[in-house]
Chains A and B, each alone.
Chain A
């Protein structure tokens, strides 16, 4: 099972974990990203995420399908949030279940690494005295 969603509401890591539960799973890994309070010594006030949603869903699905192929995953759940997020909130949850634990860690890491490369989602950081689109400039 692959469950991909882009949501405007708070993400629920426990829900994502339960989505990938399976009696055949010996390992289950949940990754949650969190909005940090500081970037390059500047105090972050909040973040804004936007996405080209239909393509982002397609790209996340491609990533999950590739992970499924490479690590023989049982279930993968990727939820990404858009809109305004405060410090400490969760922009992304990735839950993966596999027969053995090592594959679950690897597949989960692959999913978040790829997501950051190819999925059309953008975040803007707002800090005291400014704002910047993350990673836009070299």
Chain B
């Protein structure tokens, strides 16, 4: 019975919070946004969904992400409620 339940279970959605700076804030039209993703999504999956919803991201010279104030990369697995900061090309100095 348990197996059947597992097999028929569809991947639930989870919510993460996006925070955007610089041009990313203008693309999202806001500093913060809740974002739904299939449970267990990686950053690369998030990036795909994000750029399909907001194609302007594809035009940027680079697009990086930070979790917990550190750069994270494609294979990073996101958790429910986590904050992902969108880092468009930086231009300090």
* Chain A interface residues (CB < 8 Å from chain B): 33, 49-52, 54-56, 58, 80, 91-92, 112, 115-124, 133-138
Residues of A within 8 A of B19 (CB): 52
Which residues of chain B in 38-88 are interfacial with respect to chain A, using CB atoms and an 8 Å cutoff? 59-61, 66, 69-71, 85, 87-88
Residue of B nearest to A123 (CB): B91
Given A49-B92, A50-B21, A80-B92: A55 touches B61 (CB 8 Å cut-off):
no
Looking at chain B's contact residues, the main secondary structure is loop
Q: List the count of A-B residue pairs having beta carbons below 8 Å apart.
A: 78
| CB of B93 to closest CB in A, whole Å | 5
Q: How many Å lie between the Cα of A58 and that of B70 in the bound state?
A: 8
Residues of A within 8 A of B69 (CB): 54-55, 58
Q: How many Å lie between the Cα of A136 and that of B59 in the bound state?
A: 9
Given A120-B66, A122-B23: A52 touches B93 (CB 8 Å cut-off):
no
